[in-house]
Amino acid sequence: MSDDMDDSSAQGPGATGEEPGTKPAAGSTRSSRASWRRIYLMARPRLTRANVFALLLASLLGFALATQVRQTQAEGLEDLRQDELVRILDDVTQNGSRLDEEIAELEEARDRLANSEGNSPEALAAARERAETLGILAGTERATGPGITLRIEDHGGEVDAATLLDTVQELRDAGAEAMQVGDARIIASTWFRDSEEGVVVDGRTLEPPYTFVVIGDPQTMSSAMEIPGGVSESIRSKGGEVTVHEFSSINVEALHSNSSPRYAQPHPEPTDGLQ
């Protein structure tokens, strides 16, 4: 039994060949240092074109932000003199007073119209203005204002009713408020149809050249006619020509004959408590 104890004691701390407290082998230390060196080389920043470009962009962005902050601070109210602050306050006060006066005038006009009888001057003026506006939209009143003339030459007979209708739609999209083509007033219900003699517009046969007289913003409508792929390009592709002239004042003289509807009737106003 003593022999077994001697053998087991031989397997103690000194059995590996290293005494307690001895230093690791030199090869193990070199391997550890080489590993840390590889990690350092992989992790350290490298000077590449991408890194330089990113650094340059970051620098420019920082400079722009600093400049913007400095400019905002310079334009703040805290940098203004006392007389400048007083002037700004006076302007704000005056604008507020002017808006209050306009609100009061509009409210007073509303109250007069609400409380007045149907034959009062205010009610008659409002009704007259409304009737004139509706008359222009319905084509029963002549109109005047800034606008353009649009002349369409059709040398090959290829400009049809669909082309003229596209022209009307383009002008409406550009803000046209009143228009006529030839002697036909164009309104919401105006229709176009092809015929052997030309194009029929609301029962009137028109022959080329087709001349539109349009009231609206001249520059906007002129620019709309020259949009790539638009009306003018389509007409030129068919052998026609388009000529636009702008005017500070022009007249739409043609009138639409108003006819009473056969089927449509005004919807009755709902009575109190009924929908």
- Quote the pLDDT of residue 152: 96
pLDDT per residue over 109-133, tens digit each? 777 777 766 666 767 777 788 788 8
Q: Distance between CA atoms of 127 and 271, rounded to whole angstroms?
A: 24
Q: Distance between CA atoms of 222 and 207, rounded to whole angstroms?
A: 23
Backbone angles phi, psi at 230, to 5 degrees: -90, -155
Residues of the chain falling short of pLDDT 50:
1-21, 73-74, 274-275
Q: Distance between CA atoms of 146 and 215, rounded to whole angstroms?
A: 6
- Quote the pLDDT of residue 14: 45
- Quote the pLDDT of residue 243: 96
Give DSSP secondary structure letters for 179-232: EEETTEEE-TT--EEE-SSSEEETTEEE-SSEEEEEES-HHHHHHHHTSTTSHH
- Quote the pLDDT of residue 226: 87
The closest of 178, 269, 174 to 220, measured between CA atoms, is 174
SS3 53: helix
- Quote the pLDDT of residue 253: 95
Beta bridge partners of 186: 179
pLDDT per residue over 223-275, tens digit each? 999 888 888 999 999 999 999 999 999 999 999 887 777 888 877 766 555 44
